[in-house]
Amino acid sequence: MRITAALTTAANQPFEIVELELDDPRDNELVVRVAGVGLCHTDVAAHAGSLFVPAPAVFGHEGAGIVERVGAKVTKVQPGDKVLMTFMSCGHCPCCEADAPAYCHSMRPLNFGGKRADGSVTLRRAGAPVSGHFFGQSSFASHALAHERNVVKLLDGMPLEIAGALGCGIQTGAGAVMRSMAARAGSSLVVLGGGSVGLSGLMGGVVQGCSTLIVVEPQVARRDLALSLGATHVIDPATAGPLSAAVRAVLPHGADYVLDTTGNAEVMEQATLMLAHRGTFGFLGISANREAKLPGLISNALVGGHTYRGIIEGDSDIDTYLPELMRLHLDGKFPFDRLVKTYPLANINNAVADQHDGLCVKAVLIP
């Protein structure tokens, strides 16, 4: 079928709105008419070429919309259902069988391969292959081809246009605190970075009942937003001096949990110095500039009895955790909508610039 999509023609070049051909759904696939799709840092990294998905390509992996067609073996949803799309997993490796699909053994080829697992393409332009199937969806488009495994039906009352934002960054931040680290009620949490992932981690800490919640963020508007979302303290890293000292001024014995969303090696090294004894350090990325000093990290972990926890997708089991986040939102306990600013898909380049410049926290594109 003919669709409209935001096409990446080369690394770091502006997105172009073009017409493409979308493949028909196979037995376990479905076509979703996209109502809204979140703009995630991973999309920006892929657009810059750092994830090695060959151009031309269509990205987008936080889509939500209405099911239009289903393959012959699809039983999870039917035409007319409202769904959100999330990451893809194989369903049969040891991690998938243990309800930990975020650590699927085939995570990279299924989500970043640009094709189906069998090598077939899902998108073409004038007959020429286009990399698609990004996170099993490529939803920077009017329509996306998804798989039964990476869609979740929306709960009644969920706002369709922004629901897809739950599919990656927001579930990653919230899940890091609620699932990966499983923060205890009454504990202390430090979140490094006040973007959409970090603020989602903060909201997860509020849900968990953390008593001290500190957000470290250079932009004043985001610090103010963090306070309104439940942070008890905010720190400006530009004026605070050593971050570990600034945190210990609030928490003399250190923080029970620290979540890094920056991927900055210097910040990560400071994070290990602000941990309480037997504290947990969760991290979502590694610096592109240099690695954190491993011997120092190991020494700190040994002396303090620390746990270091790499985190993918917030350890989400999508069929249980995404409905949980939706219920929390509908109950007023997870107001992720306060992070969102919508843009027409045709203005995707403006949305990328605004998100980069801090003019919005979470851009959602409306086809």
Report the CATH number that the domain containing residue 259 is assigned in CATH: 3.40.50.720
Query: CA-to-CA distance for 93 and 184, rounded, in angstroms?
Result: 31
Looking at the fold, whether 247 and 352 belong to one and the same domain comes out as no
Q: What's the number of CA atoms in the CB half-sphere (13 Å) around residue 39?
A: 30
Residue 167 is given by DSSP the state G
Looking at the fold, whether 206 and 268 belong to one and the same domain comes out as yes
Query: CA-to-CA distance for 299 and 272, rounded, in angstroms?
Result: 10
Mean pLDDT for 155-179 is 97
- For residue 222, what are its two tokens? 């985001």
Which CATH number fits the domain that encloses residue 64?
Answer: 3.90.180.10
Does 362 map to a domain?
yes
What is the percent of the chain where pLDDT is above 70? Answer: 97
Looking at the fold, whether 17 and 161 belong to one and the same domain comes out as yes
Q: What is the pLDDT of residue 291?
A: 57
Q: What is the pLDDT of residue 296?
A: 63
Looking at the fold, whether 146 and 261 belong to one and the same domain comes out as no
Does 320 map to a domain?
no
Does 317 map to a domain?
no
Which residue's structure tokens are 């920006």?
44
Does 324 map to a domain?
no
Q: Domain range spanning residue 270?
A: 173-312
Looking at the fold, whether 266 and 297 belong to one and the same domain comes out as yes
Looking at the fold, whether 25 and 114 belong to one and the same domain comes out as yes
Q: What is the pLDDT of residue 344?
A: 98
Looking at the fold, whether 147 and 224 belong to one and the same domain comes out as no
CB 54 within 8 A of CB 130: no
- For residue 135, what are its two tokens? 């996170």
Does 330 map to a domain?
no
Least confident of 81-95, 254-268, 285-299, 332-346: 285-299
CB atoms within 10 A of CB 185: 8
User: Among the residues of 230-335, which ranges form H helices?
Assistant: 243-250, 265-273, 294-304, 318-330
CB 81 within 8 A of CB 155: no
Looking at the fold, whether 138 and 16 belong to one and the same domain comes out as yes
Q: What's the number of CA atoms in the CB half-sphere (13 Å) around residue 295?
A: 0
Looking at the fold, whether 146 and 201 belong to one and the same domain comes out as no
Query: CA-to-CA distance for 349 and 343, rounded, in angstroms?
Result: 10
Looking at the fold, whether 214 and 279 belong to one and the same domain comes out as yes
- By CB neighbour count within 10 A (0-12 exposed, 13-18 middle, 19+ buried), where does 281 fall? buried
Does 114 map to a domain?
yes
Does 326 map to a domain?
no
Element (DSSP H or E) covering residue 189? strand 188-192
Mean pLDDT for 235-259 is 96
Q: What is the pLDDT of residue 50?
A: 82
CA-wise closest residue to 184 among 254, 257, 234, 283: 257
Residue 126 is given by DSSP the state T
Predicted confidence band of residue 266 (pLDDT cuts 50, 70, 90)? confident
User: Among the residues of 2-40, which ranges form H helices?
Assistant: none
Q: What is the pLDDT of residue 264?
A: 87
CA-wise closest residue to 87 among 65, 60, 66, 69: 60
Query: CA-to-CA distance for 197 and 188, rounded, in angstroms?
Result: 18
What length does the chain have?
367
Element (DSSP H or E) covering residue 37? strand 29-38
Predicted confidence band of residue 292 (pLDDT cuts 50, 70, 90)? low
Q: What is the pLDDT of residue 300?
A: 75
Give the total number of structural domains in the chain. 2
Residue 297 is given by DSSP the state H
Q: What is the pLDDT of residue 178?
A: 98
Does 110 map to a domain?
yes
Backbone φ and ψ for 143, nearest 5 degrees, come out as -140, 150
Looking at the fold, whether 284 and 151 belong to one and the same domain comes out as no
Looking at the fold, whether 108 and 159 belong to one and the same domain comes out as yes
Query: CA-to-CA distance for 100 and 93, rounded, in angstroms?
Result: 10
- By CB neighbour count within 10 A (0-12 exposed, 13-18 middle, 19+ buried), where does 263 fall? middle
CB 170 within 8 A of CB 71: no
Look at the pTM and tell me if it is higher than 0.75.
yes
